[in-house]
Amino acid sequence: MRGALLSALVCAAIAMGGAKAHDLKPGSIQAALAGSVSVLPQWPGLPQGGGADIPPGVAPEGTGYAFDGSGHLVTALHVVDKAVSIDVRLPDGRIVVAQLVGGDPATDIAVLKIEERLSPLPDAPLPAPGENACAIGNAFGLDLSVTCGSVSAVRRAGAGFNAIEDFIQTDAAMNPGASGGPLIDAQGRVIGQLSAIFAAQADTNIGVNFAVSARLVRRVAGDLVAFGAVQRALLGAGFAPLPREMRAVTGGVSVRGVRPGGPAETAGLKRGDIVRAIAGRPVYKPQDAMAEIYLRRPGEVVDMIVRRDGDEITIQIELDGLK
């Protein structure tokens, strides 16, 4: 676990929420379950599934789902990063060996590879708050189960779990066992990957749960499959929160520094500018800006809405890559 009050799920699972069965497209849950797996890592010094000091079926296990039709699965990195070996339990009950393709500590996303071919789960567009959401996870190591609720918020950043956060917040309940599992919409499409919860003194659900957005999962896992690591785009600028007196005038973040010769300076961004939006995404804190840039690849061009001397201007910046 990652702490008492801010507790990421070593593995997360599910308890009932609020969406009703008739709100879901027929067969959507079954199709999503058919593309989901229980992840069974063996951690150093512990037998698979835990040890004598861990209640049976509690940990360390997790969840994953099919990313493509070539045997690649996505899961949460914290489920498998310490593992000496990894198995997955398929929907039909068979247990097969999985290999770790790669992981990204900044986002807590990992990719596994198995020989079996499962049907990949399609991605959903960005949902709206109030829409249905169902979580699929390996509840307390008891194998896959489903809980439903709603989308509470989108584009959450700065929750304190990962360096880069682009979370979908949901009240679909999660408890130890579900990390890495899919959060799906009413059509069975992936909204996000189950990742973390706010918990009070214990890793039990209190209805404030987070899934990495499907967009960020696609971005990171795609690079892990293709390159083994994330190809990061660089802006060449740093951000700071606005002082309280400025927040009475405008939202946004302040540009605290610009790297000489970098993409931001080349495009005309200046120290002291106030960035209000990046690529159409409102920016309220530095973590919002960091997430939106991380979602981009080197060479992409982003529009930045900037407030300067009381005027609002648009700056186009072509992002650089790590050299």
* pLDDT (tens digit per residue) in 90-138: 999 999 999 999 999 999 999 999 999 999 999 999 999 999 999 999 9
- Burial pattern 247-261, b for ≥16 Cβ within 10 A else e, equals eeeeebbbbeebeee
Contact 68, 120 (CB under 8 A): yes
Distance set, CA 133 to CA 178, 225, 315 (Å)? 15, 27, 36
Catalytic residue among 87, 104, 108, 288: 108
Tens-digit pLDDT profile for residues 185-199 = 999 999 999 998 776
Identify the CA nearest to 318 among candidates 240, 239, 262. Answer: 262
The candidate with the shortest Cα–Cα distance to 228, out of 125, 103, 70, is 103
Length of the chain (residues): 323
User: In this structure, what token pair is assigned to residue 165?
Assistant: 């956060």
Place of tokens 């000496």: 84
Q: Is 108 a known active-site residue?
A: yes
Residue by residue, DSSP assigns 73-85 as EEEEHHHHTT-SE
Fold of 6-227: Thrombin, subunit H (2.40.10)
Average pLDDT, the chain: 87
**Which position among 38, 78, 87, 166 bears the catalytic label?**
78
Residue 95: strand pairing partners: 89
Q: Classify residue 15 by burial, with Cβ atoms within 10 Å: 0-12, 13-18, 19+.
A: middle
Does the pTM exceed 0.85?
yes
Is residue 18 over pLDDT 70?
no
What pLDDT is attached to residue 12? Answer: 37
What residue spans of 170-243 are helical by DSSP H? Answer: 214-227
Residue 7 has pLDDT above 80, yes or no: no
Determine how β-strand 72-76 pairs with β-strand 6-8: unpaired
Going from N- to C-terminal start, the domains of the chain cover 6-227, 233-321
pLDDT at site 219: 97
pLDDT at 17: 39
The active-site residue, picked from 7, 179, 195, 213, is 179
Q: What is the predicted pLDDT for the residue at 131? A: 94
Q: What are the φ and ψ backbone dihedral angles of 303, each rounded to 5 degrees? A: -90, 135
Give the C-alpha separation, 277 to 295, whole Å.
14
In CATH, 233-321 is 1.10.3720.10: no
